[in-house]
A and B are shown apart, each in its own frame.
Chain A
Amino acid sequence: MSELIDPAVCERVLARALANGGRFAEVFAERRYGLSMSIDESRIESVQSGAEEGAGVRVIEGNTTYFAHVDGLDPADLERAADEAASALRGARREPRALEARAVAPVPIEHRPEDVAPSRKAGLLRELDERARAQGAEVAQFTASYAEARRLVSVANSDGLLTGDDRTRTRIGAQAVARRNGTVETGAETLGAHRGFELLEDDPALIAEQAASKALTLLDAGPAPSASMPVVVGGGFGGVLFHEMTGHGLEADHIQKGASVYVGKLGEQVAQPLLNAYDDGRLPNEWGSDAIDDEGVPTQKTQVIEDGRLTAYLYDHVTAERDGVPSTGNGRRESFRHLPLPRMTNTYIAPGDATPEEIIAEVGKGFYAVSFGGGQVDPATGDFVFGVSEGYLIEGGKVTRPCRGATLIGNCLEALAAIDAVGDDFFMKTGICGKGGQRAPVGTGQGHVRVGAMTVGGTEL
């Protein structure tokens, strides 16, 4: 693991951060590179290359965190940040412990994206464009994007921890617009991982075909129903349902502020016994995986629901200290310019034993949400909403017609308790989660899941 800052400089910065007291100080340094480009109207454009470096220094005293961040990694920049963070404290100097380096094995990358010629990445986007357009003349527009990002991070703190990580993520996305007479529909698909260019070795252009096919299917769609009914949610990104309606409410900051419907529910039966769910930052090469979190704590697999019982909250350093428990390795930050927050990594409902066909066959009249555009929750009230990107009507146990413009809406505790079937067709998908103004790569996953009743909000009354 390459160190971004000399350990001696780290010790000096930590000592300055504690010049006016504080029970904990930390320096988080980062160097990030990225390359992205897109294809639109069959033309490669928006080719963009970025490189940033900087550090954030925080000091914790009482219930207050003092934080300062600077661009640049010169020792003088870091010392300036430490002085700034310490400037609002009024206590007596404290000495940090001597640093002890802890080795970390970063998530393995086989084929470094920066070693691949940019022209090959452009060629890949052209391949996606051709594949999508080959789906038919009704594919009127197609755009695709390629993005690679590498983050080298170093963490040192006054408890003597010195560690770091080297993270590389690669992701492509495809969006198709299909048009028939006056009808316009869109379809999107993504592929991403904590991996290098090897992610794209096995038919990456398949996502272009999938995006186009979604848009084409929707050309035949009718309006979505407006009613409460059983909802079958598809595998993979369907897991965003659990991410929103349970995952966020288990983040310890919401719990400690009384702003979660899961407050006081630890150990209680919140779902039917068929439900088991995890947050796992160690899934090999998964989009939301890292070797350590952004506070230097090794990531871990945390079971949050066991046979329907709520078993764990997700902690970062500050919230764990407050509850007197160890961090669960969920302290994540968008960059050196942000304070860590308890965040999910890869969150998923473990596979059950029903087949998707069985789950659908048991529904008389219902809705089949194959995938979502995204979702949102207010953890304090538990109210959530999901935009359906691909949805169908279920009639007499069979998937019948596609529906456009559906939204699912409900309340966390009711919807979680209403999950009455979990499929065996498990897989993971990538997402970008927003919280407190910070974006984080997260994995979501599940097999098909059925919710006994949920409100489908469409335009058909």
Chain B
Amino acid sequence: MSELSSTARRAVEAAQAAGAGEAEAYAVRDSGREVRVHGGEVESLTAATRTGVGVRAWIGQRVGYAYGTDLSEAGVEAIAARAAAAAEVADEDEFAAPPAPSEVEALAGLSDPSIAAYDADRVAEIALAVERTALAADPRVAGVEQAVYADSAEQVSIASSAGTAGEYESSSCFAYLQALAEGEGGRETGLGFGLARGPEDLDAEAIGAEGADRALAMIGASKPASRSCPVVLDPTVAASFAGLIGGALGANAVQRGRSPFAGRLGEQLASPALVLHDDGRDPEGAASGPFDGEGVPRRRTALIEGGHLRAYLYDTYTANREGVASTGSAARAGYRSQPSVAVSNLVVAPGELSLTGLLAEAGEGVYVTDVAGLHSGVNPVTGVFSVGASGRAISAGELAEPIREFTIAGDLLGLLTGVRAAGSEARWVPFGGSVSTPPLLIGELSISGS
């Protein structure tokens, strides 16, 4: 048994000794690095280690949670005791119980040894190359606000009094930049990014070039006229919306009447062009793992297929409420957070048309490459949204002048029925969670500009 697993085991026993009938511990150890560069120099180099444990304690039908970083014997006992004390404060809930243990299938491909093989100078060179490529792309690239490389290698262990026991390791890294382009009296920003399991698989030149291209494309942008028209969402924007839809399909929001999808299971509510899955085992997905935040196996769940709403996502608690099985959708943001229902990796199925084909299909419309204000401009309960946007006009089926400072508005259900086609080239995007999606053509959305 690893040291981390024995810590989790100790925490479970300590919680039971402190009065918990059932207990579960989730222990995490990770180490990571981050390099920020600016103007050809390293601006900051960070080395981090983190270790902690989170304990859920059940006393009868009450549940409480506590976490901490002190993993000494006394420290773990104190955390466990606080979890039991927290349970005493909660109200009884007949559905509160730990999951029964289940067979977990190992998942290969989550760790990349190249993380350990790259020293600080070598990963700094990735960020420097990202910046250099962007600056060299065009004389109008006036600077790079920041170029960043970060990685982390994580070990997760779970144990419970019900017999759950599991452990896995995973690694991830990413690099991004915010390029600044100047021209026609204005300044524009452009984001470029890449994600991988290890630095070996990051393409610094492609990331730098994307940031430069995005910033350059926006030079001279003006406000479009208000209208209702076809809209093509690029993968970064499509991912944000997929994330909002996935969030509203979590059973917790559905059961509590706080989702526009409540009571709609099985109904035809989307265009057949939109196929959406949750896949917690895709080795390319950043959120993948053999099991979820309470030790239940991760799996693939069809959410929207054939135009119908096929499933909601469940953790053990929400599954108990309906007498169904968990979909392995208990998410945690490390040991500091108790499990709650959330998507793992969302996968939007690619369609037939290339981006050129989608634009041609749109005819006259808007290509949205960036949205802002998603945290305040979307009502997750009703699905009504109005968010800031920028991108390019689509004229005669081709990309035309850059446009900015407009909003796109509608509601999530309308968006689902409005999808006319999905593009053929999907990409992993870290927005809206972890999402793989192609660009999407929406038949009509309202644009507010001048």
Cα–Cα distance between A457 and B408 once the two chains are bound (Å): 7
Interface band, chain B: 35 or more
Contact for B187 among A224, A261, A385, A410, CB less than 8 A: A261
Q: Does B201 contact A (CB under 8 A)?
A: no
Contact (Cβ within 8 A) A85 B386: no
Q: Does B93 contact A (CB under 8 A)?
A: yes
Contact (Cβ within 8 A) A407 B409: yes
Cα–Cα distance between A227 and B449 once the two chains are bound (Å): 7
Cα–Cα distance between A352 and B28 once the two chains are bound (Å): 52
Q: Does A66 contact B (CB under 8 A)?
A: yes
A144 to chain B, nearest CB (A): 14
Contact (Cβ within 8 A) B376 A376: yes
B-contacting 9-mer, from A50-58, A165-173, A278-286, A356-364:
A50-58
Interface 0/1 of B265-293, CB less than 8 Å to A? 00000000000000000000000000000
List, in ascending order, chain B residues with CB within 8 A of A461's CB.
226-228, 446
Interface 0/1 of B422-439, CB less than 8 Å to A? 000000000000000000
Mark out the residues of chain B between 80 and 131 whose CB falls within 8 Å of any chain A CB in the assembled complex: 82-83, 85-91, 93, 120
Interface 0/1 of B149-187, CB less than 8 Å to A? 000000000000000000000000000001010000011
Contact (Cβ within 8 A) A52 B52: yes
Cα–Cα distance between A41 and B91 once the two chains are bound (Å): 11
- Using known A-B contacts A47-B86, A407-B407, determine if residue A53 contacts B70 with beta carbons closer than 8 Å: yes
Contact (Cβ within 8 A) B47 A405: no
Contact for A68 among B46, B86, B388, B450, CB less than 8 A: B46
Cα–Cα distance between A115 and B50 once the two chains are bound (Å): 30
Contact (Cβ within 8 A) B373 A45: no
A18 to chain B, nearest CB (A): 16
Interface centre among B47, B78, B226, B378 (most CB of A within 10 A): B47
- Using known A-B contacts A140-B257, A381-B186, determine if residue A71 contacts B404 with beta carbons closer than 8 Å: no
- Using known A-B contacts A44-B89, A339-B46, determine if residue A458 contacts B409 with beta carbons closer than 8 Å: yes
Mark out the residues of chain A between 403 and 427 whose CB falls within 8 Å of any chain B CB in the assembled complex: 404-407, 409-411
Cα–Cα distance between A52 and B384 once the two chains are bound (Å): 38
List, in ascending order, chain B residues with CB within 8 A of A339's CB.
44, 46
Contact (Cβ within 8 A) B381 A184: yes
Contact for B70 among A68, A72, A381, CB less than 8 A: A72
Q: Does A345 contact B (CB under 8 A)?
A: no
Q: Does A46 contact B (CB under 8 A)?
A: yes
Determine the residue in chain A with the shortest Cβ distance to B390: A383
23 residue pairs of the A-B complex, CB under 8 angstroms, read A46-B338, A48-B66, A50-B66, A53-B70, A64-B41, A64-B42, A67-B46, A68-B46, A118-B88, A118-B89, A141-B258, A186-B379, A376-B373, A385-B372, A386-B376, A409-B388, A409-B448, A410-B405, A457-B406, A457-B448, A459-B409, A459-B446, A461-B226
Give the interface of A toward B (CB within 8 A): 37, 40-41, 43-54, 62-72, 84-85, 88, 118-119, 121-122, 140-141, 177, 179, 184-186, 224, 226-228, 254, 257-259, 261, 337, 339, 372-376, 378, 380-381, 383-387, 389, 404-407, 409-411, 455-459, 461
